[in-house]
Structure 1
């Protein structure tokens, strides 16, 4: 694993010797990509922030152990991976079992992203500086594909060490020998873990890989669809909403997102079912007034939704963050996250009436 930017040996040596300014400057260069790495390992933006801090603390305490056999960047990735593995070894959590729903064909994964209850969206504004140092198109494609919600959810079904092996080999491009050394196993065992991880990953990804990744730069079509979606919802225009959604659209909610307060995530599919599910919030005695702000999450358009009762004169309160999957000019999936994620997107908690 090499960095395209040559590391200044004098700066690295100063950092190793205990120069705090040199260490801070050197590690800050890699903070954002380390956060993306931890996010892939853990699926949680908040936890990735914490584990990057843990990584840098471990690196500072163990700075004298760096022997320059690899780049300082690669050394930090080793520390970050081990920090994530330690965290996962002491954290008991499981996605929903796959037998809850049959595998879907076409655009959608066997289970929606919210079947991983701890999954959080990642703000696009924090992704660009973390793109691969190797700016060749294949490297960029891998970087974008492996930040998709579908990939992030699917990889959480893998045991921690096979998950690490897959990320190190298929995302970061480490060799089998480097991966085995980090995981403290043989090269044959590391290769075997990788093959098992690849096979298991396929069980949880959408059937047609081209429909979920890699993500591309925002297209004009996506911008138009996003604006039409916000206009349709805020004006409670059922016909306009229906025209934007695919017939096999799926809507899913984390617990506490979009008014779904049960202990388990929920999801439903089909145009008529989705419109019926949204009807109480849009019409009738319990209808809400909506305000929306556009954003992007995990390489796709997203909307921050705020609500209040029409009779109220106060502010609009944060309600849910909707991540949208656009396929062939229509919305194929709406994933609803709790308003706690607004902070990481730099979104306000309220909007004026």
Structure 2
């Protein structure tokens, strides 16, 4: 069943006419027409799949399977909803099928060498399949404003804390919350997309909101203001926030490259969290952070270089460790930094496996 309405429906007559022409041509087997038809939606669908799956690799697979399914079943699209809504329905159900199969999830996460050196303070909530999302991919998104019922701004809805919170939910709750509170679809529309009832959607949404809100309001979790129109954020406020973040990242980078433990500790909040997917372990608090930084990161003989980047709308850095046997620094990890004002609330360390997606090289040459 298809929806009668949807948020962000394009009412431009010329665009509608062109879309109908592309659909007709695609139905007759014109693959170029199909590519033109869906290319404007591909990036936002990938982000949608990433939110639900928590893994960029899985999101890419889900997107490809969504487009294949759309190509094969285009004849079933009756036009009673927009093409965009129809594609979201396919993508959401493709993600749910992948989660039910669970074949892509590692059963046992291999621990990084550092994890065994210090006793973690708790079992972390970052799942082993979690991957960061390069900001450069967000640059390709078409400006699609969410529906009026959306509760999260786009910047919060891609943040690492939000993605982790989503992974705490059962798959169906996850899909309902993203469709309702991120994209702004009505409950009746979500029910039709998931072949469910409106009452079931509302019940799942209530439970999902409680879990996510509890996670996002926990200590050390930085959040943007909820339900705030973009117009309330003035250019001056945005510029000041960016400037503060840039200074903080510059100080963090400088402390790493100078191996200045005291300077780095000074940037962290008291209840800072350090985590390192795929290990579901967490080091929480300034004392634990100081121990792991002193005994692992800054242990004698180690020196680093840093390459800045961005992930999940947050500052990130590629960290490179000097090779004692060659004049190079080798890729060591990717750090995604969560900030609040002029302090760091969380540092999430990812393995070198994700660095190529950020355009980061495997090695850096020695500098003069």
Moved more, 54-63 or 206-215: 206-215
Residues 190 and 141 of structure 1: CA distance in aligned 2, closer, same or farther (over 3 Å): closer
TM-score (norm 1): 0.84
1:253 to 276, 280, 292: 276
Residues 204 and 313 of structure 1: CA distance in aligned 2, closer, same or farther (over 3 Å): same
| Kept in 1: contact 2:331–2:363 (CA 8 A) | yes
Q: Distance in 2 between matches of 1:139 and 1:314?
A: 52
Aligned to 1:300: 314
Q: Distance in 1 between matches of 2:123 and 2:140?
A: 31
| Kept in 2: contact 1:318–1:349 (CA 8 A) | yes
Moved more, 139-148 or 22-31: 139-148
Moved more, 116-125 or 269-278: 269-278
Task: Tell me the SS of whatever aligns to 2:153.
Answer: helix
Q: Distance in 2 between matches of 1:11 and 1:273?
A: 58
Task: Tell me the SS of whatever aligns to 1:203.
Answer: helix
Aligned to 2:258: 235
Q: Distance in 1 between matches of 2:47 and 2:213?
A: 22
Moved more, 51-60 or 168-177: 168-177
Q: Distance in 2 between matches of 1:74 and 1:137?
A: 16
Residues 282 and 56 of structure 1: CA distance in aligned 2, closer, same or farther (over 3 Å): closer
Residues 54 and 343 of structure 1: CA distance in aligned 2, closer, same or farther (over 3 Å): same
Deviation at 1:246, TM superposition (A): 2.1
Deviation at 1:320, TM superposition (A): 0.8
Aligned to 2:205: 194
Moved more, 201-210 or 267-276: 201-210
Q: Distance in 2 between matches of 1:95 and 1:131?
A: 36
1:275 aligns with 2:286: no
Aligned to 1:142: 153
- Provide structure 2 residue ranges, at least 5 long, that are not aligned to the other structure: 1-5, 109-121, 227-237
Aligned to 1:332: 345
Task: Tell me the SS of whatever aligns to 1:230.
Answer: helix
Deviation at 1:203, TM superposition (A): 3.1
Moved more, 156-165 or 270-279: 270-279
Task: Tell me the SS of whatever aligns to 1:296.
Answer: strand
Q: Distance in 2 between matches of 1:151 and 1:209?
A: 13
Deviation at 1:265, TM superposition (A): 2.8
Residues 196 and 66 of structure 1: CA distance in aligned 2, closer, same or farther (over 3 Å): same
Give the alignment's Cα RMSD to 1 decimal.
2.8
The alignment covers a number of residue pairs equal to 329
| Kept in 2: contact 1:132–1:143 (CA 8 A) | no
Aligned to 1:258: none
Residues 45 and 282 of structure 1: CA distance in aligned 2, closer, same or farther (over 3 Å): closer
Residues 283 and 171 of structure 1: CA distance in aligned 2, closer, same or farther (over 3 Å): closer
| Kept in 1: contact 2:265–2:286 (CA 8 A) | yes
Q: Distance in 2 between matches of 1:112 and 1:213?
A: 22
Q: Distance in 1 between matches of 2:149 and 2:332?
A: 38
Aligned counterparts, 1:1-353, within 5 A: 1=6, 2-4=8-10, 6-7=15-16, 8=18, 9-91=20-102, 112=124, 114=126, 116-130=127-141, 132-134=143-145, 142-207=153-218, 211-213=222-224, 219-255=242-278, 264-285=279-300, 287-309=301-323, 311-353=324-366
Higher relative contact order (CA 8 A, sep 6+): 2
Q: Distance in 1 between matches of 2:90 and 2:350?
A: 30
